[in-house]
Amino acid sequence: MTKKNKTLALYHKLQRWPMGNKLFSLAICRMAPYFGSVSPLITDLRPHRCECIIKKRRKVENHIRTMHVIAICNGLEIAMGAMAEASIPAHLRWIPKGMTLDYTAKAGSDIRCVAEVSPEAWQPGDMDVTVTAYDSNDVVVVKGSIKLWISEKKPK
């Protein structure tokens, strides 16, 4: 019998509650406090895919009143991290190793950050997670990948 994924189980449990997405997002930010700087809202989490929303507000804007690209990168990393925690096989572990991103358009609205990977990708070694940020009109504003190092867990 396979072990139940704790992250995915918590997400599904909180979906039954009012404001469950907000509660789950707060829990993620409690585990990794810096993520709270962009106040993410995880809106969809399933194995190998996660989406979160970053609201456009003054604290994440740049000097031209568009969303700062580093805030978007933070949102993409949140989506990747939640997806990884909800997807990784129990015998493996992960750590981020790098990001390669292209800024393709100005981000003048709320941003939807998406992280995706194929189920077959979960193998020891380097793994690229596809990340894409969309504005409210579904225009891609940032796209690229986050490289993870996947390794076997040490036996207990």
Any idea what the CATH number is for the domain that residue 71 is in?
A: 3.10.129.10
Residue 45, domain member (yes or no)? yes
Q: What is the pTM of this model?
A: 0.93
Note the pLDDT of residue 80: 97
> Quick check: is 42 in a domain?
yes
66-106 confidence digits (pLDDT tens): 999 999 999 999 999 999 999 999 999 999 999 999 999 99
Give the tens place of pLDDT for each residue, 137-149: 999 999 999 999 9
Identify whether 1 is part of a domain.
Answer: no
Count up the domains in the chain and report the number: 1
Q: Is residue 72 part of a domain?
A: yes
Q: Which two tokens stand for residue 17?
A: 């509650």
Residue 108: pLDDT above 70? yes
The residue range of the domain holding 120 is 6-152
Residue 66: inside a domain, yes or no?
Answer: yes
Torsion of CA 5, 11, 12, 13, to 10 degrees: 100
